[in-house]
Amino acid sequence: MILRERRPSDFAELCEIDRLCFPPGIAYPPQDLAHWLRQRGSFVIVAEDEEKQKVAGFILARKQHGSSGHIITVDILPEYRRCGLGTALIERAHERLKRMEARRVRLEASVENPSAVAFYQKLGYQIVGRIPRYYLDSIDAWVMSKELT
Ligand SMILES: CC(C)(COP(=O)(O)OP(=O)(O)OC[C@H]1O[C@@H](n2cnc3c(N)ncnc32)[C@H](O)[C@@H]1OP(=O)(O)O)[C@@H](O)C(=O)NCCC(=O)NCCS
């Protein structure tokens, strides 16, 4: 497995992985993913299974104004989970955000996604808030945050 920068030719595969990782309505439609990719300060790190020549997962993150970073999504295909890949991607994104002078990082996770919450808590994120009806105008999101040291 290698971690690498996103290439333009990855786009369709990233959309398909997001569709497989999230329920309908929560997965990003291609136009939303394209929107995030165009934002200033956004970046994607891809985990590629070199043997199978396929993308196993990716992280999309963004350095915002000031000293904050934002994790937009972390997506690992089901067959590659619980092997440390999500951890490797988020740690790489933390390093990148620090180089971009972020001092903390923030994200949203569905209150109905306990796996993601457990994953982020293991990485040192704490719940700092709750946004009502964040997803599909019906499901709340936890706001989670971590200081980058
Ligand atoms: C959440 C997700 C990114 C985790 O990726 P991963 O590569 O499986 O994570 P890791 O192997 O690095 O797991 C690190 C730790 O997180 C925790 N964790 C990960 N998945 C978990 C799960 N399903 N249940 C409970 N804890 C979990 C565990 O503590 C794990 O350590 P362990 O395997 O030694 O017990 C992956 O399950 C995924 O893509 N899910 C669908 C999309 C999603 O919900 N993304 C996050 C919201 S943006």
CATH of 2-105, one of 3.40.50.720, 1.10.10.10, 3.40.630.30, 3.40.640.10: 3.40.630.30
Binding site membership of 116 for ligand 1 (Cβ less than 6 Å): yes
- List phi, psi (to 5°) of 6: -65, 145
Q: pLDDT tens for the chain, 149 residues: list them.
A: 999 999 999 999 999 999 999 999 899 999 999 999 999 999 999 999 999 999 999 999 999 989 999 999 999 999 999 999 999 999 999 999 999 999 999 999 999 999 999 999 999 999 999 999 999 999 999 999 999 98
Predicted confidence at residue 149, as pLDDT, reads 85
Closest CA to 90 of 49, 98, 1, 129: 98
The alpha carbon of 59 and the centre of ligand 1 are apart by a number of angstroms equal to 13
Q: Where are the domains of the chain?
A: 2-105
**C-alpha dist (Å) from residue 36 to 40, 57, 63, 81:** 9, 17, 12, 24
3 three-state secondary structure:
strand
Predicted confidence at residue 39, as pLDDT, reads 95
Predicted confidence at residue 119, as pLDDT, reads 98
Q: Where does residue 38 rank: exposed (0-12), middle (13-18), buried (19+ CB within 10 A)?
A: exposed
- One-letter amino acid of 67: S
The alpha carbon of 86 and the centre of ligand 1 are apart by a number of angstroms equal to 6
